[in-house]
Structure 1
Amino acid sequence: MRLPRTLFCHRVTVEPYAGDSAYVKTYGPPVTGVRALVDARIRVVRNREGREVTSTVTVYGEPSLAAQCPPESRITLPDGRITTVIAVAPHTAPGLGLPESTEVACE
């Protein structure tokens, strides 16, 4: 069971992190029009190294967003601001009938 699509009232663009080149981070082709719910709330989260960092926005999306958006990806928010993904948390509960979604904490 997934969260109702009507909750995902925003559209964002995701540029998936593809790795580092000799000089800069590289990204895959942008995925535009990704349905999401954008929550601009400041909170503390843990990054991939386990350090506490500040997240200024959280993006909630469909379960498939987890595969499209690894940490360090770039997301363009509806207001045009570009942010970087800190952590991705897929919320699943197979067999329990609970709604599934993906939570993406961004800088």
Structure 2
Amino acid sequence: LQCQCAYDAGPGEDLVSMYHLVKVSDDVDQPEEVRVKVFIPRDDPRVPSVYWIWKSADFQERESYDMYGIVYEGHPNLKRILMPEDWVGWPLRKDYISPEFYELQDAY
């Protein structure tokens, strides 16, 4: 697994979880590559985690969860990684309405 990421296809459209896989063989100049896209309904965005196959998906799936709200079922530690734990909503969804302000609590 070279990369796992997600994107929003548009307001009212599906969310997409994308996996870029690379097979490196003796011929390093021409690695075999494939990109797999999983289209997920935005009203219940759930997809099985690939963490148990590729451990490198750990933080990448957590980021996709944090920004888009895609739940990776079976992930051992699926929690926010970039936004505060109490943040409401999924900031990179195209239908996200950003709050006017965010108050830091327990900052001192």
**TM-score normalised to structure 2 length:** 0.25
Task: Provide the TM-score with structure 1 as the length reference.
Answer: 0.25
Higher relative contact order (CA 8 A, sep 6+): 1
Compare the two structures and name the one with the higher strand fraction: 1
Quick check: which has more Rg, 1 or 2? Answer: 2
